[in-house]
Amino acid sequence: MNADGLTASELIAIDVHTHAEVSRDGRSSLSPELLGASADYFKAHGHRQPAIDETAAYYRERRMAAVVFTVDAEHATGHPRIANEEIAEDCAKHPETLIPFASIDPHKGRAGVREARRLVEAYGVRGFKFHPSIQGFAPDDRLAYPMYEAIEELGAVALFHTGQTGIGARVRGGGGIRLKYSNPMLVDDVAVDFPDLRIILAHPSFPWQDEALAVATHKEHVHIDLSGWSPKYFPPQLIRYANSLLQDKVLFGSDYPVLTPDRWLADFAALEIKDTVRPKILKENAARLLLRENP
């Protein structure tokens, strides 16, 4: 067992991509317009966002661990975020199941860097979620570099949304959200300038899947998570690389609660993934990256 209470050998899988988008007092991290667009896109109307305690119970029942985070996009959207401390505190009640990540809008500058250090050192946060399209910045913009420097120094993980997003889809002007910021090639400079920073490119990166594969193949500490898509829709080149060159760098992620691990795993079972690779994707790669242990 590691210091956080998680023992990879006792887990079936580690889900590196789940959301906590409602605060304890019921406030959402995004505006009703943007959330409604996402619900339309994912056909998730009537879907209820679970509290963190419910998420913990859900994953504990399935003998899985889960990374949990929100998105701080106050600068671009004007909508107040959910406090990172709240999420970390609620995750800390379930150390055998939940792994807390944080999200800090890069536009917060030095204040954001101070917050990142405090969250890791005082709250046990293990990584940071960036959503460039919603936060309104290019990953290679120097405004975010002090944040990356701190995350690298702290030994934490930087997880970047990549590819299209359902948030803002079909809203007038896309709700102001610019897809171009989520091209994974924009993370290549980050991987060069911060060579020890552990990076996850989230999602099959439509329409830039080949760019994501290129960056992950070329840069030592860049990984890919498979969240947000049912595996039956994965492009063939993603499956091919997951089975070969990137078998040690591809990670199970669901995008819970929008996409449940139950559905994801059922569809993943039907893919032609090598028997030696399947446990790496489901658990072993994440255990090395997040828990610093070999399962």
Whether pLDDT at 256 is above 80? yes
Domains and CATH numbers, the chain: 8-291 (3.20.20.140)
Is residue 126 a contact partner of residue 100, using CB atoms and an 8 Å limit?
A: yes
Give the pLDDT band (50/70/90) at residue 252: very high
Peptide bond before residue 207 is cis, with ω within 30 degrees of 0: yes
Question: Would the pTM of this model clear 0.75, i.e. be above it?
Answer: yes
Mean pLDDT over each residue of the chain, to the nearest integer? 92
Whether pLDDT at 46 is above 70? no
What is the Cα–Cα distance from 131 to 139, expressed in whole angstroms? 9
Q: Using the Cα atoms of residue 61, residue 58, residue 254 and residue 115 in order, give the sign of their dihedral.
A: negative
Give 120-169 pLDDT, tens digit per residue.
999 999 999 999 999 999 999 999 999 999 999 999 999 999 999 988 78
Q: Phi-psi category of 183—alpha, beta or left, where left has phi over 0 and alpha has psi -120 to 50? A: beta
Q: Residues 45, 47, 48, 50: what is their CA dihedral angle, to the nearest 10 degrees?
A: -140
Q: What pLDDT score does 45 carry? A: 53
